[in-house]
Amino acid sequence: MLNGSENQSLYRDHYELIEDVGTKQAYSYLVGWASSLKHYDCLPSFHGVIRDFRLMHGSDWEFAFIPNQKWLLFYFRKPSLEYIKYSRHEIMSRFPEAKENNAGEFTVKISTLSEAVKLAAYIES
């Protein structure tokens, strides 16, 4: 379910930050897909000065992505990593380009619609 109606302009602001056409398509897809998820609330926000889009499962901030000019940086955040489905092995086998950050979270760069669809399908599986 989409939230953040008090910050509706953030949806557009995040979108306009992106310069690459494929990344704009990926952003639009992921926002639309996230809004259809039954057990998640999603909203555009800020983490400090960094723009992000959050997927919340109850009070757990499980996933997020940061819009950049040429890609979206998608995060598998700590709460999601408690599920076997999102083990290090599973994430790395599906997204070999994924990186593990210092917090033990995983990031994946998304720059095309097909990459966004692949990511969404994994999360929904």
Predicted local confidence at residue 2, as pLDDT = 55
Q: DSSP 3-state assignment of 20?
A: coil
Predicted local confidence at residue 47, as pLDDT = 79
User: For the chain, what are the domain ranges?
Assistant: 5-124
Fold classification of 5-124 (topology level): Aspartate Aminotransferase, domain 1 (3.90.1150)
Predicted local confidence at residue 46, as pLDDT = 83
One pLDDT digit (tens) per residue for the chain, 125 residues: 555 555 678 888 999 999 999 999 999 999 999 999 999 999 898 878 899 999 999 999 999 999 999 999 999 999 999 999 999 999 999 999 999 999 999 999 999 999 999 999 999 98
In whole angstroms, give the CA distance from residue 13 to residue 3. 16
**How is 34-95 classified by DSSP, letter by letter?**
HHT-TT-EEEEEEETTEEEEEEEETTEEEEEEEE-SS-EEEEE-GGGGGSGGG-HHHHHHH-
Sheet with 99-100: list strands edge to edge: 41-47, 50-57, 60-67, 72-76, 106-110, 99-100
Predicted local confidence at residue 8, as pLDDT = 75
Is pTM, for the whole model, over 0.85?
yes
